[in-house]
Amino acid sequence: MISKEELKKLEKLAKLKFQDDEIEQFNSQLNDILEYMKELDELDLSSSDPMLNPLSSVNFFRDDKVEKAFSVDEILKNAPSAFDRYFVVPKVI
């Protein structure tokens, strides 16, 4: 089950922050789900290969040539904050 400390670690990884009043309920919901998933522990899966994709997939490449892409205006269209050809964000350093 997920402890409070592990939850804090996950928050950092996921870049999420839960409010104090949410965290209790959230923890118990997550643990409910993990409890249900314990049914998988009884399975012997050693003889089965991991399957990432239901198709036997073949990688698809394209030629390394420059193709038509989007204009700067289109790329910046949905930017919350932009200047010239840049996305503007809070100071990093």
Partner 1 sequence: MIEKPLHELLDLIDKKEITAKDIFNELLKHIEQRNADINAYISVIENFEQKGSVLNGLPIAIKDNIMLKGTKTTCASKMLSNFESIYDATVIEKLKQAGANFIGKTNMDEFAMGSSCETSFFGPVNNPWDKTRVSGGSSGGSAAAVASGLAIAALGSDTGGSIRQPASFCGVVGLKPTYGRVSRFGLVAFASSLDQIGPIARDVKDASLLLNIIAGFDPKDSTSVNVEAPNYLEALSEDLKGVKIGVYESVLQSAPDYIVRSVENAIDTYKKLGAIVQKIDLPHIKYSISDYYILACAEASSNLARFDGVKYGFRAKGESLEEMYVNTRSEGFGAEVKRRIMLGTYVLSSGYYDAYYVRSLRLRNLIKKDFDNAFRQVDAIILPTTPSDAFKIGEVTKPLDMYLSDTFTIPANLAGIPAISLPCGFSKNNLPLGLQILSNAFREDILLRIAYAFEQQHDFHKKIPIME
Token representation of residue 7:
């939850």
CA–CA distance from 2 to each of 14, 23, 43, 78, 84 (Å)? 15, 12, 22, 37, 46
Minimum Å distance from CB 68 to partner 1? 11
Token representation of residue 79:
């930017």
Site string for partner 1, 25-64 (x = CB under 8 A): -x--xx-xx--xx-xx--x-x--xxxxxxxx-x-xx-x--
Minimum Å distance from CB 11 to partner 1? 8
Minimum Å distance from CB 66 to partner 1? 16
